[in-house]
Every structure is written in structure tokens, then in C-alpha cells.
């Protein structure tokens, strides 16, 4: 999984929040011999939206939710990956991403329709994503291509200084919208909150 953390700006709704672009999982067979097909990732991609974040899959190192979370995620056919944004408000975690200490991400999922296994590989069926782990240097992700390219300092000056836009709204100087996602992050978050209210 060729995972990139790419800095996209700040989120004005949360103090110290930074938005990072990630490629979370690619069409691949992981190091732990789980196979993720394109068909599965196309179907499952959006289920990685608005999920909690943790460090190294450690339950005791969960980041505060929903301040720290995945945002709008979907399958990207160009990169053959489930891609989107994550929001991180924890200043120490943002610093670790920027320094390269956090080098990869790793999905957490349940194969709701089971696995089809041979002697070596287990193909995942009915994938439902439940979270995303940020991995420290030295912790290997399941996907052998899962390295993070820190591109946070390569954004344009216009994006850094633009006062007319946030992660939610694009302006002329900077574009934060991901055209591959049908909803903007703000629309998706609103839809998520409304659906949650209906269940409550």
C-alpha cells in the first residue's frame, strides 16, 4: 500500500486540527496474507469514512473521537486504493507525522461475509472498515507498499495563506475539494450526523 500523508490545510471547527490526505489500502495481498480485491474495495471504500484513529492498533492509544477521525473516504480507481482525508487535532501526533516518525497507516476491518482461504491466502468478502491505525517507525503495515511520503511542506503558499476557505469550502487560491468524492467533507459529515440522530 503506497500510503501518502499529504497536508491539505487546517480545520477551523477544531483547534489545532490538520487535514491529511491518505491512501489507506490498495488492491493487494497483505503481509498477513489477506487479499483485498478491487471489487471489494470499490464496495467497501466509503465505510472507512468517519472512523476513529489509533496508534499501532493499540486499544489504549485511541485518539479522541470525533476530533481525530477519518473523513470522506472512497475508492479511487486511478490509484487502486481507498483514499480520502483524516483529521488530526493532537499536536504531538501531527508533529510525528511531519517528522516522519509516523510512517504508515493500517486499516481495521471485518470481513462480514467471511474469508475464502487456501493454504496461503485468505480473500476478504463483505469488507466493512471500522478504524484506521497510524503506525510508528518500525511497525510494519500489512500492505508491503505502505510507506508514507510526507508532502506536508509542499503545498502552495496560496493554500497556506488563503483566508476565504477551509477544508470545507474551496476558494480560487486553493482547492480542498476531492472531485473523486461525490460529497464534500462538510456535506458528508452533516449527512452522517443526521443519520446518527435518526438512529438515536
pLDDT in tens, 118-141: 989 999 999 999 999 999 988 887
Please give the torsion angle defined by the CA atoms of residues 46, 61, 99 and 140, in that order, rounded to the nearest 10 degrees.
Answer: -70
- Is-contact 41 123, C-beta < 8 A? no
**Could you tell me which of 187, 157, 154 has the C-alpha nearest to residue 173?**
157
Where are the chain's structural domains?
A: 4-155
Give, rounded to a whole angstrom, the gap between the first and last alpha carbons of the chain: 37
Euclidean distance between CA atoms 49 and 69, whole angstroms: 8
For the chain, give the mean pLDDT.
77
Does pLDDT of 185 surpass 70?
Answer: no
- Is-contact 71 189, C-beta < 8 A? yes
Which percentage of the chain shows pLDDT scores above 70? 65
**Could you tell me which of 122, 125, 118, 24 has the C-alpha nearest to residue 69?**
24
What's the pLDDT score for residue 181? Answer: 38
Euclidean distance between CA atoms 164 and 139, whole angstroms: 39
Amino acid at each position: 500500500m503506497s500510503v501518502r500523508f499529504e497536508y491539505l490545510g487546517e480545520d477551523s471547527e477544531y483547534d489545532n486540527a490538520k487535514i491529511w490526505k491518505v491512501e489507506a489500502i490498495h488492491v493487494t495481498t497483505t503481509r498477513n496474507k489477506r487479499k483485498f480485491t478491487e471489487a471489494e474495495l470499490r464496495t467497501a471504500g466509503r465505510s472507512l469514512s468517519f472512523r476513529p484513529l489509533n496508534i499501532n492498533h493499540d486499544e489504549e492509544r485511541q485518539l479522541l473521537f470525533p476530533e481525530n477521525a477519518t473523513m470522506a473516504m472512497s475508492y479511487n480507481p486511478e490509484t487502486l486504493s481507498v483514499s480520502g482525508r483524516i483529521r488530526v487535532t493532537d499536536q504531538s501526533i501531527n508533529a510525528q507525522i511531519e517528522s516522519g516518525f509516523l510512517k504508515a497507516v493500517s486499516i481495521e476491518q471485518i470481513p462480514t461475509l467471511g474469508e475464502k482461504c487456501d493454504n496461503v491466502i485468505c480473500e476478504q468478502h463483505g469488507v466493512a472498515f471500522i478504524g484506521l491505525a497510524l503506525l510508528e517507525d518500525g511497525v510494519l503495515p500489512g500492505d508491503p507498499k505502505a510507506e508514507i511520503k510526507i508532502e506536508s511542506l509542499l503545498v502552495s503558499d496560496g493554500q497556506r495563506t488563503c483566508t476565504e476557505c477551509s477544508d470545507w469550502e474551496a476558494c480560487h487560491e486553493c482547492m480542498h475539494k476531492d472531485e473523486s468524492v461525490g460529497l464534500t467533507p462538510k456535506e458528508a459529515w452533516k449527512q452522517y450526523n443526521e443519520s446518527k440522530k435518526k438512529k438515536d
